[in-house]
Amino acid sequence: MDRDREFMALALEQARKSYAEGGVPVGAVMVEAGEVIASGHNQRVQQGDPIAHGEMDCIRKAGRRARYGDVTLYTTLSPCMMCAGAIVQFGIGRVVVGEERNFRGNAGFLREHGVEVTLLDDAGCRSLMDAFIAERPDLWDEDIAGNG
Amino acid sequence: MDRDREFMALALEQARKSYAEGGVPVGAVMVEAGEVIASGHNQRVQQGDPIAHGEMDCIRKAGRRARYGDVTLYTTLSPCMMCAGAIVQFGIGRVVVGEERNFRGNAGFLREHGVEVTLLDDAGCRSLMDAFIAERPDLWDEDIAGNG
């Protein structure tokens, strides 16, 4: 769990980077055998890319690979249906979620499909999203297409 | 239905373009009010991007928008779990599928989430995927992470 907090802090750093750029503050890191192999954050504003949620940007940055069963994906916010679908399709073995209070997400769906899910309910992840949603409800609504 | 075949022909053109480039031959177009507003194809090989399935590349190319209820997404192959998740998350109203014989996909999941799905079982879409899977089983397996 200590290592989970450590890796989540790196995902939160990604989220804060996106926030500082005026973007949606969701970040992610991918870990394999105790090492970070990729990190990313939401790129809707920065690249005008609606599919680049934090988790998706991180999966993209990990590049081409044939299997994901041994990786853990850390994400500051519970995965939306797109990101949850990607996690199941690629067979990512484990997901660690920063918080699900600001967005319910799909931990149940992931578990039903055999993904191990750990919820940290991290105060830093929560307060960043609290601030963003209060400041930019328009951008938040766009990012989840009203499907919150 | 005639218009559906016409737009599917454009999605198949995208798939053939990807095939000619040595990529995974799945293509898609997005239509709104009878007009094509975006088109795309799988970019795993071309851009080294594992999340850019045909449907995802097309959604990306449509750019930022707040709602998708009025659009129809044409895809040459039935959507995988990632693409189906994206369709549900963004609230895409209708999906027209070229074929589902080479990949079962998730038409049932889409319908359960209120998406209108039309299956064309198009011979051109089928034969292109037949050829690709026979020629490049390794690349096909990678693209769906063994989750076929």
Q: Are A98 and A12 in contact (CB under 8 A)?
A: yes
Q: Are B127 and B86 in contact (CB under 8 A)?
A: no
Give tens-digit pLDDT for A95-139: 999 999 999 999 999 999 999 999 999 999 999 999 999 999 999
Determine the length of chain B. Answer: 148
Question: Looking at the partner chain, which of B56, B80, B141 has a beta carbon nearest the beta carbon of A51?
Answer: B56
Which DSSP letter does residue B91 get? T
A60:B83 CB<8 A = no
What is the residue extent of each domain of chain B? 1-142
Distance of alpha carbon A105 from alpha carbon A38, whole angstroms? 22
A91: left (phi over 0), alpha (psi -120 to 50) or beta: left
Token digits for B52?
């850019």
Please state which CATH number belongs to domain A1-142: 3.40.140.10
Question: Looking at the partner chain, which of A50, A80, A83 has a beta carbon nearest the beta carbon of B59?
Answer: A50
The structure's pTM equals: 0.98
Backbone φ, ψ for residue B21 (5° rounding): -90, 0
Give tens-digit pLDDT for A70-90: 999 999 999 999 999 999 999
Please check whether residue B59 touches A, CB under 8 A. yes
Please check whether residue A37 touches B, CB under 8 A. no
Task: Say whether the ipTM exceeds 0.90.
Answer: yes
Chains A and B form CB pairs within 8 A to the count of 101
Token digits for A80?
């939306």
Rounded to a whole number of angstroms, the distance from the CA of B55 to the nearest CA of chain A is 10
CA-CA-CA-CA torsion for B68, B73, B78, B81, nearest 10 degrees?
-20
Secondary structure class of B53 (helix, strand, coil): coil
Token digits for B89?
């998350």
Please check whether residue B50 touches A, CB under 8 A. yes
CA-CA-CA-CA torsion for A57, A11, A113, A91, nearest 10 degrees?
50
Q: Does the pLDDT of residue A33 top 80, yes or no?
A: yes
Check residue B143 and give its pLDDT: 97
Neighbour tally for B52: CB within 10 Å = 25
B55 part of the active site: yes
Residues of A in contact with B26 (CB under 8 A): none
